[in-house]
Amino acid sequence: MPDTKGLNPSRRTFLKGTAGAAAGTVFAELAGLGLDVRAFAAKAGDVPIKRGKEVPSICPYCAVGCGQIVMVEDGTGKILDIQGNPDSPISQGTLCPKGAATYQLAVNPLRWTKVKYRAPGSDRWEDKPLDWAMERIAQLVRKTRDAEFNEFQEMPDGKGGAVRKRVMNTYAVASLGGATMDNEWNYVHQKLMHALGVVYVENQARI
Ligand code: SF4
């Protein structure tokens, strides 16, 4: 991915200055309401901005597609921080609370890294390898689809009667996608679902 360091510096500088001015205005307005904002303003000034190689990216959480800059440590590739990208025409440097927490998606010692499986009738979870889970999902999808596959279906013929048509589908399997699925993933996924005959294909993102 290209480095953004050389991109449109004047605009970025302008936006950074604008953000600083906006924060100053907010503090002044709060002070005008009689609130003592000195401690808050001092703390805001202390927040360290981690610097590294700036890699432009897209927020993985929803279809708005806000722009992000991933700060990466030179040499190690370690992620130092993830911030909004002022050059993004979509979000202009802003991120919602979820997008602003993207760093925790990539760097989080509390995040589960193993598949949790609870067998039918069991009251406990087991750790399973990802390959095991993928194979089991594939086998169950195939078994369910084959058992409930409709080659033909009767449907209204528009004249009060019925007509038998070849449909090649199944209503026994559904696909519910999440917003982290990008365009390319969605394209391949819907190809797979339609090849299986799945007609219930849905996604949470509605843009
Ligand atoms: S989750 Fe928030 S920051 Fe991320 S793309 Fe959606 S609106 Fe933007």
Domains of the chain and CATH, by start: 9-106 (2.20.25.90), 112-144 (no CATH), 148-207 (no CATH)
Higher pLDDT, 205 or 126: 126
Residue 6: predicted pLDDT: 45
Between 40 and 158, name the one with better pLDDT.
158
Count of Cβ atoms closer than 10 Å to residue 82 Cβ: 25
Helix (H, G, I), strand (E, B) or coil at 149: strand
**Mean confidence (pLDDT) of the chain:** 84
pLDDT tens column, 23-34: 566 666 667 777
Model confidence over 63-122: pLDDT tens digits?
788 999 999 998 899 999 999 999 999 999 999 999 999 999 889 999 888 899 999 999
pLDDT at 18: 45
For the segment 196-205, the average pLDDT, to the nearest whole number, is: 88
CA 204 – CA 182 distance, rounded (Å): 12
The residue among 79, 58, 76 whose CA lies nearest residue 67 is 58
Using a 6 Å cutoff on CB, does residue 179 contact ligand 1?
no
Atom in ligand 1 nearest the alpha carbon of residue 94? 3
What is the pairing mode between strands 162-177 and 115-117?
A: unpaired
Judge if the beta carbon of residue 98 lies within 6 A of ligand 1: yes
* pLDDT at residue number 30: 67
User: Among 57, 58, 59, which is best to mutate for testing ligand 1, by the most ligand atoms less than 8 A from CB?
Assistant: 59
Nearest atom, ligand 1, residue 102 CA: 4
